[in-house]
Structure 1
Amino acid sequence: MVVGPITGCGTESAVNETPGTSTPAVQDKSTDIVVIGAGGAGMTAAIQAVQDGAKNVVLVEKMPITGGNSVRSTGGLNAAPTKYQERDGIKDSIELFVEDTMKGGHNLNDESLVRTLAENSAAAVDWVNDIGGDLSVVGMFGGASVKRIHRPSDTSAVGPMLVTTLNNKVEELGIPVLLNTKAEEILVDANGAVTGVKVTGEEGTYTIKTKAVVLATGGFGANAEMVTKYKPALAGFATTNHKGATGDGIVMAEKIGAGFVDMEQIQTHPTVNPTDQTIYTEGVRGNGAILVNKEGKRFINELETRDVVSEAILKQTEGQAYLLFDQEVRESLKAIESYIKGGIIVEADTIEGLAEQIGVDPANLKETMEKYAGYQASGSDPDFGRASMEFPLTQSKYYAGLCAPAVHHTMGGVKINTEAQVLNTDGNPIPGLFAGGEITGGVHGGNRLGGNAVADIVIFGRIAGSAAHAYVMENGGTTEPTIQAAAKPAEAKPEVEANYKDGTYTGVGQGKGGEIKVEVVVKDGEVIKVTLKDHAETPGIFENAEEGVVGEIIRKQITEVDAVGGATMTSEGIKAAVAQALEAAK
């Protein structure tokens, strides 16, 4: 990942100067395209713009790491028809993709956007794979008529793979990423055309003058006040969103007259662990898992759309259910391993033993499982009409995870057209403003199908990046590069004296995926190196925690440092492991 300042040009701004002090003003900057938000859609847009020929693109990200909600995505990318579907003998089409998406969204979707999504989906899979990604396994998800969701070949979660791939490409292309930099305002001229973005970063507050802006700030699922403003029934709900998903882009767009659509359409994900908000990917159900209530009985077709399944769970005892599967399902999906390592799955050798562990009636659960095995064998589910039943769920061991709905995706947002141009309240494009991903509305209607979010960020991210570059070229063209990606930060140096015993020490802490083992090197009384030797943390997340936490520990020579946002459990695990290692160095 490329991180660092951008070189200045143009006039100086006095916004950071306090009267009567010698604090220097922060110099304004210039570029051709500013992408606000370095999640999946934002990085995709920046990459595509550069691939199209853009020379001056900068990513602005308020969080200390890239990835946004995208890194948390567990499912995959819906696409049709693809060579991978053809390989597996799956018959699919653009028309069926459109039909499923419109039906899943209760026909509130903008069909032109849905068709754009479907028509560009196969190319999106190829694009991700061409830049180093891995989307080659096709599976079943709720709301789809056929197997359509494309996932990594090792059946792991798609988000970490995608974000790592995008980070690597951003770095390869030399695209500057301004972390810890919050976009405050989109600036426009008298005609309403974009002229810049006011941002606040480590240097202070300044303006980045630009010809085009791509809004990729994500949704507002982590902003409880905004969620309840648009959908009061969700007051008190937990969220699966990272803490930066607060609707900043909504606020900025509204101030310059952007139109909005479907703001009240907010989706809950049905299978979220209520303790730590881990999302159980729909791939678990798609690969064969069932849902049972606290009485040990099924109550829904598990492959119904998210809104239907969420509503059904909320009607059960305590508004919760258990996601239940067997050894065959576990072995079919690598993503399950992270749930087991995280301690949120219980297991037993027998169904009765599992019933005892989760506190449901053993007789009821055994009857439920035997009945389901019979339905699977016959290929018919007369109780709930489930069509895809991959396994009979008769292979020991047996597993269960507690789940409940949580705020997951905000389907509403700024109104865009098929060229990813943001439209104003009159329905006309705002010159120079484009958007992609969860900041936009219209693609998903009243309910998003699993697998369509990743499709959305890649497809409309690419369209927005291309459209922004085309707009720049049509309005004076690009200039010589004035923005440079910074070199990687130098190795952290201690800023305080310490008095540890020289040597190499090891320690263990508890992260999100299990134990984290570290090796700490002390020289001349100071910690000079910390290395993660063994862990099961999520790729695309642990690297940021490792870089941020380790750098602060070395700089401050203490372990009581701030955790990295979006990687709190990993950060705490590293800190605990280093603290344990340093006990032996005192």
Structure 2
Amino acid sequence: MKKLSVLFISFVMAVTLSACSTAPASSETAYKAGTYTGSAQGMNGEVVVEVEVSDDAILSVKITDEKETDGISDPAIETLPAEIVEYQSLGLDTITGCTVTSTAILEAAAKALESAGADLASLQKPVEKIAGETIEKTADVIVVGGGGAGISAAATVASEGKTVILIEKTAALGGNTLASGGVWNAVNAELDALTPSDEGRLSTLRTYLEYDENLFVGEFKNTYSTLKQQINDYLSGDTSTLFDSVEFHLIQSYLGGLREDLDGNTIYGSYDLLNTLVTNSDATISWLKETAGSEFNNTLSEPIGSLWLRSQTPKTSKQVDFFDKPAAYVEKNGGEIIYQTTADELYVENGRIVGVHAVKNDGTEVILHANNGVILATGGFAGNTEMVMKYDNYWGDDLYASIGSTNVSSTVGEGIIMAQKAADADVTGMEFTQLMPIGFASNGRLALGNGTNVMYVTPEGKRFVDEYAERDVISKAAFANGGEQGLFYEIGLKSNVALWQDEDCYEASSIEELAKLINMDPAVLTAEVEKYNGYADAGLDADFGKTVFTTKIETSGDDVYVARAMKPSLHHTMGGLVIDTLCHVYNQSGEVIPGLYAAGEVTGGIHAGNRLGGNAIADIYTFGHIAGQSAANAN
């Protein structure tokens, strides 16, 4: 329904604009009257555009088919067709945050217009947009960034009865949160009681009794002792339903982030920050339900690299429950959201952050004053490969300039840079970036999945890793064992595939046929699948130690076998601004920067060297909520 609505809205806007503002084309842009079609590669597949022209004007532009990501692509789909008609031009700026979709629309329209005899060189001359008068506003709190952390912070400020302005540099809320799997780790005893356990999960719990206590530092050691007692108590009693605890979540997050850089330096998450995350995550979900009316499913899930079944998911969609409802709450309670507005400077007076300078996409200057403070929720920098490679001290030669990214293009690290420039803000963990092992090989897009019902094989058909392991472990194994740039294949059943992309996905009725499609020796792949299924039956993987299997790779009914081509892609930057548990930002002298707060991927110190799957959404909404409380109640 959403796609049809967008098509209709774009058509109506195009007709309306053509009626009131379309200027006849010059002789350079005369057309052969008629309707023409063009297509171009978008993020997820072909974008098909239909253009109607008269002898001297573009009359309408309609997108007739596309498979782009809901929410992220909407601004381009809803805006560009009408703008082509309004300006009688293809020389338009792409929409920030959906560059690939924007480019595809413009390229598809160009192909259609070329068929109509258009002079493309003339049509593609840049359109000059005129800046408006300077906008100047004041609010108690200014939030920079409209992803999960930003909208959580803004909704919190509004709920505290304070005024808030949120600025977002793209044309819609969402950012990387919409590009993610949308899973939120939060320990919830009621959901655990509804979730059956199994022998594989019991085996996993037993491994947590065997760690050397010297692996744990400070308060983590005491937490580990508590966890061992909890696990022993559980294993000696009723094990029919799922075990979980905030201590288990904390220890898994600590171990998941405990890493060494290429120089042998050890990094691990801050106990105070991790403890704040795991103890407040489920309460933040409850707050979002009560405040914004967001809804969540009553079943648990587990994304790749999560290590345990504890993720909660939005009931309607990420767009609705994570953004539309909180945004409506903000605006209903006096808050304001300004789109296509990029912050470029923090205002400082007497050492305190007092506002933000920004620029709208048409060049209009925006000056925002903050009575209480500014919250940076600008995200990380995994969309900025140059910045990632500049800081990297973990992946080394495995990183390359053309590596794909699961991120939206707007995640470039400007929040960190602004804070450093304005107030000498300190950073931590910048040398660590998480790679997502299951990025589609052709474009790096997040392929989704959890590793419990698939096997990963090299281009030769050999299995090479525990698919349920941490994300960096799988990525390193792919680089060591896979093809060029870590190429490998995910083998499974189509009924379990979360996302399909034609360029990277294959299906067949037999393993032998599937192997031929991806140029593997059928005998090798068949033998690997049979061995894997044996491990699934036993609940234990003798090769790589996998203990969690939800299904075998064995078809039934109308199901078919599938292979998806994968390469590790830039996913999440571990490092960022130094904060405390109240989200104050610190300078390099170890002092709080008055008036400056930060939440989400712009911060560091939480996930250390590697993040658990499902911890990002928990992080951004939980610390966004805390940042909102701190800023709203600041003097």
Q: What is the TM-score of this pair, normalised by structure 1?
A: 0.71
Aligned to 1:423: 586
- Report the secondary structure of 1:103's partner residue: helix
Aligned to 1:228: 389
Aligned to 1:185: 345
Alignment map for 1:64-463 (pairs within 5 Å): 64-88=171-195, 89-106=241-258, 108-130=268-290, 131-152=293-314, 158=318, 162-190=322-350, 192-201=351-360, 202=362, 204-211=364-371, 212-231=373-392, 233=397, 234-236=399-401, 237-255=403-421, 256-283=423-450, 285-286=451-452, 288-315=453-480, 316-318=482-484, 319-330=486-497, 336=498, 338-339=499-500, 344-395=504-555, 396-463=559-626
1:40 and 2:206 aligned:
no
Q: Which amino acid aligns with 1:254?
A: Q
Task: Work out the CA distance in 1 between the residues paired with 2:255 and 2:294.
Answer: 33
1:57 and 2:216 aligned:
no
- Report the secondary structure of 2:278's partner residue: helix
Once the two structures are aligned, what percentage of the paired residues are identical?
Answer: 35
Give the superposition deviation at 1:227. 1.2
Give the superposition deviation at 1:24. 8.5
Q: Which amino acid aligns with 2:146?
A: A
- Report the secondary structure of 2:296's partner residue: coil
Compared CA separation, residues 135 and 194, structure 1 to 2 (3 A) = farther
Runs of at least 4 residues off by over 6 Å: none
Give the superposition deviation at 1:327. 4.4
Task: Work out the CA distance in 2 between the residues paired with 1:466 and 1:39.
Answer: 17
Task: Work out the CA distance in 1 between the residues paired with 2:333 and 2:566.
Answer: 41
Task: Work out the CA distance in 1 between the residues paired with 2:588 and 2:344.
Answer: 21
Task: Work out the CA distance in 2 between the residues paired with 1:397 and 1:168.
Answer: 43
Q: Which amino acid aligns with 1:415?
A: V
Give the superposition deviation at 1:413. 0.3
Q: Which amino acid aligns with 2:407?
A: N
Do 1:81 and 1:94's aligned partners in 2 also have CA atoms closer than 8 Å?
no
- Report the secondary structure of 1:95's partner residue: helix
Aligned to 2:100: none
Task: Work out the CA distance in 1 between the residues paired with 2:189 and 2:354.
Answer: 40
- Report the secondary structure of 1:33's partner residue: strand
Do 2:302 and 2:308's aligned partners in 1 also have CA atoms closer than 8 Å?
yes
- Report the secondary structure of 1:271's partner residue: strand
Do 1:290 and 1:323's aligned partners in 2 also have CA atoms closer than 8 Å?
yes
Compared CA separation, residues 401 and 173, structure 1 to 2 (3 A) = farther
User: Greater relative contact order: 1 or 2 (C-alpha under 8 angstroms, separation 6 or more)?
Assistant: 1
Q: Show CA shifts across 1:83-118 (max 9, x none).
A: 222322321111111100000001511111001000
Q: Which amino acid aligns with 2:170?
A: M
- Report the secondary structure of 2:346's partner residue: strand
- Report the secondary structure of 1:294's partner residue: coil
> Gapped runs of 5+ residues in structure 2?
1-70, 76-130, 196-240, 259-266
Task: Work out the CA distance in 2 between the residues paired with 1:407 and 1:376.
Answer: 31
Task: Work out the CA distance in 2 between the residues paired with 1:387 and 1:398.
Answer: 22
Do 1:348 and 1:398's aligned partners in 2 also have CA atoms closer than 8 Å?
yes
Task: Work out the CA distance in 2 between the residues paired with 1:86 and 1:260.
Answer: 41
RMSD: 2.3
Do 2:269 and 2:607's aligned partners in 1 also have CA atoms closer than 8 Å?
yes
Task: Work out the CA distance in 2 between the residues paired with 1:275 and 1:167.
Answer: 34
Give the superposition deviation at 1:132. 1.8
Give the superposition deviation at 1:25. 5.9
Task: Work out the CA distance in 2 between the residues paired with 1:169 and 1:159.
Answer: 14
Q: Which amino acid aligns with 1:77?
A: W
Q: Show CA shifts across 1:514-534 (max 9, x none).
A: xxxxxxxxxxxxxxxxxxxxx
Q: Which amino acid aligns with 1:281?
A: L
Aligned to 1:568: none
- Report the secondary structure of 1:355's partner residue: helix
Q: Show CA shifts across 1:335-364 (max 9, x none).
A: x2x425x55421111111111111111111
Deviates more, 1:241-250 or 1:131-140: 131-140
Give the superposition deviation at 1:134. 2.1
Task: Work out the CA distance in 2 between the residues paired with 1:152 and 1:206.
Answer: 34
Do 2:296 and 2:312's aligned partners in 1 also have CA atoms closer than 8 Å?
no
Do 2:135 and 2:366's aligned partners in 1 also have CA atoms closer than 8 Å?
yes
Q: Which amino acid aligns with 1:53?
A: G
Give the superposition deviation at 1:136. 2.9
Task: Work out the CA distance in 2 between the residues paired with 1:306 and 1:409.
Answer: 11
- Report the secondary structure of 2:468's partner residue: coil
